[in-house]
Structure 1
Amino acid sequence: MHMNVSSKLINKYYRARANSKFAGVVTQIDASVQIIARMLDADFVGAFYYERTTRKLIPISYQHGHHLSIRNLGALADFWADIDIDNLPVEPDMIDFDNEKFRDTSIQDQFGTENSFACCYRYPYYLDGGLRLVCTAYWYEHPEPVSLEFLHLLDLTCKIISAAMTVADELMQVENYSVRLSQLLPVFEIPLDDLPYEELLDLVTQRINDLVPGAEILLMQRDCNTGTFTLEKHLNCDQPSIEEIKILTERVKPLLWPDLPDDTVRYRCRDMDQTEGPNWAGAVMLELAPVENMQYVVLVTPPEENKLNTNDRELLSVFAVFAQTVLRNVLLVKRLEKTNLLLEESSQRLAEVETTAALADMTSGLAHDFNNIFGGLVGRVQLMKLRTQNKTQLAELEKIEHLIMEGAESVRRIQEFTTCTKLKELQPVDLCQMLDDVTEKERVPWQKEAEDRSVEVVIKRLLDQAVVMGNHDDLIAVIDKLIDNAVGVSPKGSTVKVELSGTEENITLTVSDEGPGIPEELRTRIFYPFYTTKQERGAGLGLAVVYGIIGRHSGKVWVESRESGGAVFKVTLNRAEGKIPDVTRELTDEKGSDCLRILVVDDDTEVREVLKDTLAIDGHEPVACNDGFAALEEIEKRKFDMMITDLGMPGMSGLELAGAVHERFPDMPIAMVTGWGTQLNEDEVALNGIKSVLSKPFHLKDIRTLVNNLAVKA
């Protein structure tokens, strides 16, 4: 806000009082009235000085926005020139913006009516029992209530105007004070949306330095709950130690406003006592009103040759009000950013859950179909192995069987990733031993590629033993997948580093490569099934499998970028104690001693025939049915020793069939061989009388063991 009328008004008032320092008076008054207008957020402010000889109020400054067109200023001057000073509508004890006698919302003067103002405040300044100054403010809309602190500042500003008009000998000092006071205005106009947090703090400390040049400045945050201080910024001094900050913030005494009760003072300027530090004498502290449980504190230590005077302290006190607005908004903006970040993370997690649910729907059906296919294939291969003695053919059949079982294992891990449940019993396992296992040539799928491209895999163990609760095969797969992924993206002649480290609580596996790295926006997507960044290899399942396995082990897996290039995958698992069990698979080759009549129910022809042939080889009498209805008819015709059924069948599910048979023959052992095995509800299975569940694809030894175990329980 600025107008050129101030000079004309004061010229008129000083028509017989020539003064070489007149320009300083104008600057002082305009700056002060500008501050009043900004503090009140008024559309128009006028200042009127009481001339004792004429007993009239003389206009000395008008301030309003550049974009406003104000009419008939003469009417405003006439209104105050003609007013009866002795019968002003306000008294010193009525100075309160909530006082109806002080506030005039009706706009009865001609000036306010012609300019369509909605509200007017009139503030008189009294000195030594007499009226010295009146400020009047107009708004187009009703303003927010004004706090007691702003009222005090308004009174203080009016005092400055009065001093400028009455004490000509101090005009130079007042002019300097005005210039310094005007330096506070940019603080109040700081663009919070445009400046980062650090730059805002820099600007605040720099403004204090403008007010008190060369002062040592510490800007700190105080936790109101714990009383601890955190240093945010320091200027013109070295960073103090924690002990120095403690002394600086404790050895102070309050400097209160002289005319306000102590309980109303929110912004305090405090003097530092004499302490051991010679440079701390004369320091002042600005305590800004807290925001929730956080408060900003500014400690200002003036240079030894420039002690703080009364004006300096008043300026710093005024600055505290402006800085409070800025820093309060800074804290609110930080909290808003934190809230937005949490919302973004929550939205991302929700999207991941929805994606996983969609993948679960898709993969569950595919897994069932693939498991049926794999079950038929592996069964036929195993039957062929039993019928041939040719070593070459046996070796080829074993390779085929191995490939089928690898495919089945991939399907199983996809199922486990999408169900997000712990499907296996976890036991103590040693990751150090696993690292030794994966370096055995016959076990390492990535070894040949590493040798062909001269990629060196360096394994470093910082622990003698790293025991966690886990599934041995799954964690071996995690190590294999991470190393395979690193080798696959590494350039020729580079190095893949595998490191095992730990703390008292956690074990960390780190796999780093020298490849192209992973952009930040892709670091979560790479763990989705079927997502891959590789151009020539991989189906995008490896990292999804790793993510699912580690999640079921209550661990964490994430990826970082290396400064020198490449990616770093990290896995953390909780430490555990216990005896490492023997993970060797225990299966029996012994046939059952009794010939059992077994009802086999499966809608897949290949699986049904494999089961039938396998049972027949062991001397049992299998009866095969392709659905539940046919099975119920058979079970009424003859007696069966046990039933083996599939789960997903048309018309009647395996659970429904098992429930019906169990109700009719509660002592008959029932087993389920199914491609849905990893997703069955244990309570529902038991409720329908099912004693055992075997997942497809299966080994012939698994069927033999299943039948023998059920026969014992029968």
Structure 2
Amino acid sequence: MTNSIHILIIEDSEDDIEMFLRRLSKDGFDVSFRHVSKPNDLEEAFQEGGWDVILCDYFLPGVTWQEVLQSWAISFSRNCPLILTSGITDFDSALEAMHQGASDFISKADLSRLSPVIRRELEKTEIRRQKERAEAELKDSNLKLKLALKSLKNIQDQMIAVERFRALGEMASGIAHDFNNALMILQGSVEEIESQRAAPQEIVRKMRTQIDDAASVVRRLKDFYRTSPASEETAVDIDAVLQDVKEFTKPKWEKTVAEGGESVVVEIGETSESFVWADPSKLREIITNLIFNSCDAMQETAGKITLSTRSASGFVEIRVEDTGPGMTPEVKARCLEPLYSTKGPDGTGLGLSIVSAVVQSFGGKVLIESEPGEGTVVSLYLRRAEISELPEPSCHRSISELRPVRVLVVDDEPVISRLLTKQLSSLGHKASSLTNPLDVTKVMETEWIDLVLTDRSMPEMSGDNLAKLVKALNPETKVLMATGFGDLMIAKGETPEGVDLIVPKPISLEVIVDSLEALFPVCPDSVALSG
């Protein structure tokens, strides 16, 4: 059996080199080699590398075997065996050499051990290399496993978050229904106050805005069921929005008192008197969110929050600037990520991510400037609405133009059924109400009913089943479903059989008029309201 071997021979005797080569050839080795004897040549040979074995004379001119060993250990990390050879058999010298790292010690007087030692060292080297490769592969596998586990943990966290959102979404549907019923009563009361001549109109306006915003927040619960909620964009007076938000958030920032006893101050700086394309309610909500974030950041040291706007090449920049502690680079890099929070258990990690998502849905972008100790500036860039693009004021037909209709209101909440009946009557319609849908059959068998206005969630009979019943009793009777689930149903494209139109609660007089226009158009070319 012939073994190819590439040897570096460090030797100053040509005769000894010839003796090594004859012995190895005799023992079956096919040898290629390089011979060096000077220190400079030795360094070059070590840099060349690729040696299977190094044979080094114990006594060399100009360099000691210890220096050769040191250089060898650095260059080859002991992955190439180095065997010392000597014409003098000295047991102590052999022990010392091997103690300092030499693979073996061979006497030139007896080369019978040369080939067996080389074979043994080659095997050991191969085993060591295999072990190192296995360890490297194991290390790589461990790293991949750690990354996989980290990825799995992230996926698990996301799944938990998704499950949490799903559960919250299911809870939200019930909350939306109950909350919208409460808002319905508040809205009806405000409209009743508004109709009085001596009503304080500014206070009424603020109350209506707050009710509309609360209703919009509830409508956003439908986002649990939709991946891309559509934005109802219109041209918004951003300066008016900033004034409203400052007023609405006053209870929060006035009560944010730092350790020194000073409270946070909110000011409106320079403004550009601009309009932007946005959903006004969502815009108020995200600016409110930013003010609350700034207040939370200034719990220890009170400061100032400045709201301002300026033009920016087809966009309007809305700036929310605070003098708080600022963000570290790490926090700034991750602050827009969903579920990332620096507030511990008190934070959801959704605030800024929602701000970013809403702004992007308006075709804008969010930029954040912040340095530790230098405060934070959050800039919202929204598309400018030019004056020529502003919509004309909407014109509804007067109440007198609407044909009076006979309406039966069915809602298990007595207050809401009475309120709707009163609103319809104020519009000139003949309205009556029931709180038990099981009584509808008796009424419709004795009276002509043009419209049944029904809730959806009722204990005795659902609005879905009531709609089927109404159409069975009289196919010409319209069914208007007014429900706290309205936005969720519209978002999911869900229209129960027999229902002609769905409107979400709370319902204003304007919505009632729009609904009646859609269901009972005065002229054939009237445009129906989409539900």
TM-score by length of 2: 0.62
Contact (CA 8 Å) 1:517, 1:561: kept in 2 or not? yes
Contact (CA 8 Å) 2:190, 2:207: kept in 1 or not? no
Q: Which residue of 2 aligns with 1:426?
A: 233
Residue range with higher mean Cα deviation, 508-517 or 29-38: 29-38
What is the CA–CA distance in structure 2 between the aligned matches of 1:576 and 1:339, rounded to whole Å? 48
What is the CA–CA distance in structure 2 between the aligned matches of 1:437 and 1:336, rounded to whole Å? 55
- Secondary structure of residue in 2 paired with 1:364: helix
In the TM superposition, residue 377 of structure 1 has moved relative to its aligned partner by 3.1
Asked whether 1:39 is paired with 2:75, we answer: no
Deviations 1:644-687 (A, max 9, x none): 11122235432343245346644432212111222114675446
Residue range with higher mean Cα deviation, 408-417 or 644-653: 408-417
What is the CA–CA distance in structure 2 between the aligned matches of 1:630 and 1:77, rounded to whole Å? 117
What is the CA–CA distance in structure 1 between the aligned matches of 2:205 and 2:267, rounded to whole Å? 31
1:412 to 203, 212, 216: 216
What is the CA–CA distance in structure 2 between the aligned matches of 1:79 and 1:674, rounded to whole Å? 106
TM-score by length of 1: 0.48
1:395 to 186, 200, 212: 200
In the TM superposition, residue 553 of structure 1 has moved relative to its aligned partner by 3.1
Contact (CA 8 Å) 1:671, 1:692: kept in 2 or not? yes
Contact (CA 8 Å) 1:30, 1:61: kept in 2 or not? no
Q: Which residue of 1 aligns with 2:112?
A: 82
What is the CA–CA distance in structure 2 between the aligned matches of 1:336 and 1:510, rounded to whole Å? 45
What is the CA–CA distance in structure 1 between the aligned matches of 2:270 and 2:352, rounded to whole Å? 20
Q: Which residue of 2 aligns with 1:25?
A: 65
What is the CA–CA distance in structure 1 between the aligned matches of 2:498 and 2:191, rounded to whole Å? 30
In the TM superposition, residue 637 of structure 1 has moved relative to its aligned partner by 4.6
1:496 to 286, 301, 306: 306
What is the CA–CA distance in structure 1 between the aligned matches of 2:404 and 2:341, rounded to whole Å? 47
In the TM superposition, residue 688 of structure 1 has moved relative to its aligned partner by 2.5
Deviations 1:362-404 (A, max 9, x none): 3332221111112123324434655x55x2xx339x8468537
Asked whether 1:437 is paired with 2:245, we answer: no
In the TM superposition, residue 64 of structure 1 has moved relative to its aligned partner by 8.2
Distance 1:492 1:21, change over 3 A: same
Contact (CA 8 Å) 2:318, 2:379: kept in 1 or not? yes
Unaligned runs of 5+ in 2: 1-56, 134-138, 255-262, 525-531
1:570 to 354, 361, 379: 379
Asked whether 1:613 is paired with 2:426, we answer: no
What is the CA–CA distance in structure 2 between the aligned matches of 1:488 and 1:683, rounded to whole Å? 36
Matches within 5 A, 1:448-597: 456-459=267-270, 468=277, 470-479=278-287, 481-482=289-290, 486=294, 494=304, 496=306, 498-500=308-310, 502=312, 508-517=317-326, 524=335, 546=355, 549-550=358-359, 552-553=361-362, 555-557=364-366, 561-573=370-382, 580-582=389-391, 584=393, 590-591=399-400, 594-597=403-406
- Secondary structure of residue in 1 paired with 2:520: helix
Q: Which residue of 2 aligns with 1:361?
A: 170
Deviations 1:165-222 (A, max 9, x none): xxxxxxxxxxxxxxxxxxxxxxxxxxxx9xxxxxxxxxxxxxxxxxxxxxxxxxxxxx
Matches within 5 A, 1:204-243: none
**What fraction of aligned residue pairs are identical, expressed as a percent?**
21
What is the CA–CA distance in structure 2 between the aligned matches of 1:422 and 1:358, rounded to whole Å? 19
Distance 1:380 1:352, change over 3 A: same
What is the CA–CA distance in structure 2 between the aligned matches of 1:590 and 1:413, rounded to whole Å? 30
Deviations 1:317-340 (A, max 9, x none): xxxxxxxxxxxx9xx98x999999
Deviations 1:595-653 (A, max 9, x none): 42222121222111111222233343334233444334543454321121112223543
What is the CA–CA distance in structure 2 between the aligned matches of 1:453 and 1:48, rounded to whole Å? 81
Residue range with higher mean Cα deviation, 28-37 or 17-26: 17-26
Q: Which residue of 2 aligns with 1:144?
A: 130
Q: Which residue of 2 aligns with 1:372?
A: 181
Distance 1:22 1:594, change over 3 A: closer
Distance 1:447 1:583, change over 3 A: farther
Aligned residues: 443
Distance 1:467 1:384, change over 3 A: closer
What is the CA–CA distance in structure 1 between the aligned matches of 2:295 and 2:186, rounded to whole Å? 32
1:643 to 452, 470, 478: 452
Deviations 1:104-158 (A, max 9, x none): xxxxx7x9xxxxxxxx846xxxxxxxxxxxx6452695753999xxxxxxxxxxx
1:26 is aligned with what amino acid? Answer: Q
Distance 1:356 1:136, change over 3 A: closer
Contact (CA 8 Å) 1:600, 1:625: kept in 2 or not? yes
Q: Relative contact order (C-alpha < 8 Å, sep 6+): which is higher?
A: 2
1:475 is aligned with what amino acid? Answer: L
In the TM superposition, residue 353 of structure 1 has moved relative to its aligned partner by 4.1
Contact (CA 8 Å) 2:482, 2:502: kept in 1 or not? yes
- Secondary structure of residue in 1 paired with 2:502: strand
1:605 is aligned with what amino acid? Answer: P
- Secondary structure of residue in 1 paired with 2:415: helix
Asked whether 1:671 is paired with 2:480, we answer: yes
What is the CA–CA distance in structure 1 between the aligned matches of 2:109 and 2:336, rounded to whole Å? 73
What is the CA–CA distance in structure 2 between the aligned matches of 1:689 and 1:411, rounded to whole Å? 26
In the TM superposition, residue 592 of structure 1 has moved relative to its aligned partner by 5.6
Contact (CA 8 Å) 1:588, 1:705: kept in 2 or not? no
Contact (CA 8 Å) 2:267, 2:306: kept in 1 or not? yes
Q: Which residue of 1 aligns with 2:497?
A: 688
Q: Which residue of 2 aligns with 1:711?
A: 520
Contact (CA 8 Å) 2:246, 2:266: kept in 1 or not? no
Distance 1:597 1:438, change over 3 A: closer
What is the CA–CA distance in structure 2 between the aligned matches of 1:32 and 1:512, rounded to whole Å? 64
In the TM superposition, residue 697 of structure 1 has moved relative to its aligned partner by 1.8
Contact (CA 8 Å) 1:527, 1:544: kept in 2 or not? yes
Contact (CA 8 Å) 1:458, 1:495: kept in 2 or not? no
Distance 1:560 1:444, change over 3 A: same
Contact (CA 8 Å) 1:378, 1:401: kept in 2 or not? no
What is the CA–CA distance in structure 1 between the aligned matches of 2:342 and 2:94, rounded to whole Å? 76
Contact (CA 8 Å) 1:677, 1:694: kept in 2 or not? yes
Unaligned runs of 5+ in 1: 1-16, 89-108, 112-119, 123-134, 148-192, 194-328
Deviations 1:554-610 (A, max 9, x none): 655575533443223233456788953337565555146544222212122211111
